[in-house]
Amino acid sequence: ESAITRPKGYTVSFHCNPDMEKHHFGMTHPMKPWRLTLSKSLIYSYGMSFAMDNYIARAATYEELADFHSTDYLDFLGTVLPEPVPRDLENQNPDLRFNLGGSDCPLFEGLYDYCSLSAGGALDAARKICYKQSDIAIAWGGGLHHAKKAEASGFCYINDIVVAILQLLRFHPRVLYIDIDVHHGDGVEEAFFSTDRVMTVSFHKYDPNNFFPGTGALDDNGPKNEQNPGAHHAVNVPLNDGITDEQYDMLFNTIVGRIVERFRPTAIALQCGADSLAGDRLGRFNLQVQGHGACVEFCKKMNLPLILFGGGGYTPRNVARAWTYETSIAIGCQEKISPMLPQHAPWRQQFRQDTLFPTLEQILGEPRQNRNPQKRLQDIVQHVTEQLRFVQA
Ligand code: ZL4
Ligand code: CA
Ligand code: ZN
């Protein structure tokens, strides 16, 4: 077996900061920054760091965050201290400023550092792309797509993706944002609602009354008035429980292929939330590591500057598998790495099975029922195709 070597003709950069991983949302909170440690350790165990430029992410500055976020919100975020909240009062406090301090977005020790390191990694990645020093830049600590200008939402406080895309827009005329997290990428969509320089497309579980955040219907495509240049520039792909690799990849390739043809982006930002994998604590899909990774592979084949962000992912062993496989795709060594996990990988017992590609049976016992009839998927493709007639690069 030969060592993993640098890809010929292009550069991959990897942006992370171990200080981000030590933060805790709370014992039983689903978001575990520690999953970044597990992911990185598997990536390093495969020897992939030798094939990339590795950077310790810096903290984003206040001014950089203020490119998107309101200063009122940032000032508050920078000064609030965690207050122990009695368990039975959690999420019932009517005085939550900026949606901070509830059970989804708790206040914890070092919150502002955690947020600014996540955004710092995303910004470093964006700058490497802008200055053409990387062809693919990876920021697994980013991808926090729900945060709003002046509000925390769904485990997200600072929208590192929006801040990074704003950086890309200084050099790139058109940016395509793609979101394969199981949740709707509402914060990013909303931030770019009124520009035709960013197209957003999110694939997500959609059930307005029972699944967070409840937005992202097929016909929510941006404010529909002729004055708004951003009209038609939001694509939503609402899905149901149990979608499979085969169906997802058909949809992804068809829809993203057509968008790239029509919109002609000059850079792509891909949010790789791993909660769309089978067996995720919060997710509902039947995707395997292969199917999730196929989305990254498809984007890479577009031959455009590419940023890979992390995002959701609540079963750490599967998050680590997916982001390891996707790092290997970025480097182009996916055929070369062993599908058996390296013997010496730290936390080896965390992974349960010794393969990078567990089967659905191994993950779930019994796969979740697929509630995505083929006819519905065809209707989605047709809607998007018609929507794209209004889009012109
Ligand atoms: C938890 O066990 O659907 C938070 C959140 C904390 C610890 C103990 C508190 C118990 C599941 C979720 C009370 C929990 C009540 N703890 C949570 C409407 C809700 C109000 C809050 O992947 N309750 C809100 C957010 C979603 C809601 C998903 C995805 C982020 C991303 C990008 C964000 N919020 C109902 C839920 C637990 C918890 C257990 C939880 N929260 C599951 N889904 C939500 O897209 C990073
Ligand atoms: Ca999504
Ligand atoms: Zn999610």
Question: How would you classify the pairing of strands 175-179 and 267-271?
Answer: parallel
Taking alpha carbons only, the member of 52, 54, 129 closest to residue 304 is 129
Give the model confidence (pLDDT) of 107-149 as tens digits. 999 999 999 999 999 999 999 999 999 999 999 999 999 999 9
Tens of pLDDT, residue by residue over 335-384, are 999 999 999 999 999 999 999 999 999 999 888 999 999 999 999 999 99
SS3 56: strand
Question: Which residue's CA is the nearest one to ligand 1's atom 46?
Answer: 312
If pLDDT is split at 50, 70 and 90, which confidence band does 273 have?
very high
Interval 209-224 mean pLDDT: 95
Dist CA 66 CA 68 (whole Å): 5
Nearest CA to ligand 1 atom 19: 104
Rounded to two decimals, what is the model's pTM? 0.97
pLDDT 10s digits, 11-67 = 999 999 999 999 999 999 999 999 999 999 999 999 999 999 999 999 999 999 999
Mean pLDDT of 183-192: 98
What share of the chain has pLDDT > 70, as a percent?
96
Q: How far lies 243's CA from each of 181, 247, 251, 373, in Å?
A: 13, 7, 11, 9
Q: Binning pLDDT at 50, 70 and 90, where does residue 227 land?
A: confident
Tokens representing 322 are 């997916």
Rounded mean pLDDT, 230-242? 97
**344 has catalytic annotation:** no
The pLDDT of residue 365 is 86
Tens-place pLDDT, residues 56-110? 999 999 999 999 999 999 999 999 878 665 544 455 554 589 999 999 999 999 9
Dihedral of CA atoms 189, 194, 197, 198 in degrees, nearest 10, equals: 0
Q: Would you tell me how many other CB atoms lie within 10 Å of the CB of residue 96?
A: 15
Instruction: Indicate which ligand has the atom closest to the C-alpha of 178.
Output: 2
ipTM surpassing 0.90, yes or no?
yes
**Active-site choice (15, 23, 184, 233):** 184
Instruction: Give Rg (Cα) of the chain.
Output: 20
pLDDT of residue 90: 53
What whole-number distance in Å separates Cα of residue 78 and Cα of residue 76?
5
Looking from the CA of residue 28, the nearest atom of ligand 1 is 7
Give 147 Cα–ligand 1 centroid separation in angstroms. 14
Q: What is the DSSP letter of 332?
A: T
